[in-house]
Chain A
Amino acid sequence: MSTRLVTIRGLHKRFGDNEVLRGIDLDIDEGEVVCLIGPSGSGKSTLLRCINLLEPPTSGTVGAAGHDMTHPDADLDAARREIGMVFQHFNLFSHLTILDNIAIAQRRVLGRSKAEAHAEARRRLAEVGVEGKERAKPAQLSGGQQQRVAIARALAMGPTLMLFDEPTSALDPELVGEVLAVMRGLAADGMTMLVVTHEMSFAREVADRVVFLDGGVIVEQGPPSQMLTEPTTERAQSFLRRVLHPVD
């Protein structure tokens, strides 16, 4: 039996009067790749951010990577080491070189030596295909390179679970492919991934399961072959019609 890496029960999140998440139950098994799709404002990103508690839930429980995240005594810093996160806008540390971006948390959080951290950083950079830029600052890289470095930065911590928050939405169209290729490789290596995305072809090809979120609830979920071609709910049908055939 495979291990359960994410367990979400009755998750609600409210910003003032705006209830963004209205009761989410979601499980993710080890090695599973789950794509979260849905219209903008449906709560996809909020759900993702509630998993590592960047956004504290209003109510409900979240378990992730073996940690009871919503327990009052949870050591969130320890849990987050094991939960990698990749952001829409990369969020590389703008004052640090590429190498130090990947090394700093290894050194300050995991206590690795500079040499160890740099060696690991170089390995991860090779893995995501960004080489020869070790001494550059993030602003000198293309968006696609920056996002791949951000993935390397998260991987260097040795996470058991990776969260991707619209990782290709801020990229020029011709740079999307290189980031998706890295993610495809990760999935093939068995990484457990939860991906908020608008890339339906990626979801179709890589996801084990597609979860459709609308109005703060999970409306429908299933394997991509079924979810993306013959969804049963009217809301999912209309969303997919708009996404897959925008000109119709």
Chain B
Amino acid sequence: MNAAQRTALTVRGRRRLTRTVQYGVFAAALIALIALADWGRIADSFLQVDIAADMFPAVWTAFGNTVAYTLLAFVFGMLVGVPLALMRVSGFGPYRWLSTVYVEVFRGLPALLVLFLVGFAVPQAFPGVTWPGGVYGQVAIGLGLTSSAYIAESVRAGIQAVPPGQVEAARSLGMSHTRTMISIVLPQALRIVVPPLTNELVLLTKDSSLVYVLGVTASTMELTRFARSELTDTANATPLLVGGLLYLLLTVPLSALARRLETKGDRR
């Protein structure tokens, strides 16, 4: 290509051409999808209003269980994760090592496998041991163990993001190391990690669908398990759509909240 040809298309002109091509491809794909899809069949399998209506009000129990499992696991995750984060930044070596091993193990294992361990392996290996709270306790621990590892890492990052001058000021006033952590560092660190913790809550909401492996009854079923049993009963996919929408009802506002908190955090 010589210089004359290159100047034939200005920079702006070239950008406009590229943009037009992108729109064109996008529109063509959309038209093809609309034209080629068998809409009657899709509506038959996904959009049966009476099947959707039949799911109510029973689906609310499942929805409530999803929320409950998520929150229980999150609370357990925080109760374990925050001390782990403090151990991770401790000056005492064995604390650091213990916490590092814990975090690496539970971040490295699939949540499903941990649930199996808590639900089946432990009761089998230690006969007579039962988790408090039945399936709710099993879920809090089974999902919470994995979650605590991620929470610990987030909180550790938050602790390390607190400016060292804050610690120096506290120590110069005579606060002990522990007191400085509790009164000065942790409150600031937790503020910093609210957005990643909100994301963790979104991930947990979805991971709560794994609970079905523990063998749940009608009263302890969460959304995915409930939608699947409806799918089997009705031989129709509409319950999956309803279940999916209910998940989005939880996760989309949470994600939006996390984004807002992130931008708010930047401004501070």
Contacts and interface: CB of A to CB of B under 8 A. Distances in A.
B171 A87 contact: no
Measured as residues with beta carbon below 8 angstroms from the partner, the interface class of chain B is 10 to 19
A108 B183 contact: yes
B172 A83 contact: yes
A93 B168 CA distance: 11
B175 A91 contact: no
B260 interface: no
B166 A108 contact: no
Contacts of A83: 172
Interface of A: 52, 54, 77-81, 83-85, 87, 89, 91-95, 104-105, 108-109, 139, 150, 153-154, 157
B172 A52 contact: yes
A80 B188 contact: no
Nearest to A102: B173
A104 B183 contact: yes
Nearest to B176: A77
A94 B166 contact: yes
Contacts of B166: 91, 93-94
B173 A80 contact: yes
Contact of B174 (A78, A87, A92, A150): A78
Given A94-B188, A104-B183, A109-B179, A81 B174 contact: yes
Nearest to A89: B165
Contact of A108 (B163, B168, B175, B191): B175
A2 to B, nearest CB: 25
B184 A80 contact: no
8 contacts: A54-B171, A91-B168, A94-B166, A95-B188, A105-B175, A139-B268, A153-B173, A154-B173
Nearest to B182: A108
A87 B175 contact: no
B261 interface: no
Contacts of A105: 170, 173-175
A157 B174 contact: yes
Nearest to A157: B173
A52 B165 CA distance: 15
B113 interface: no
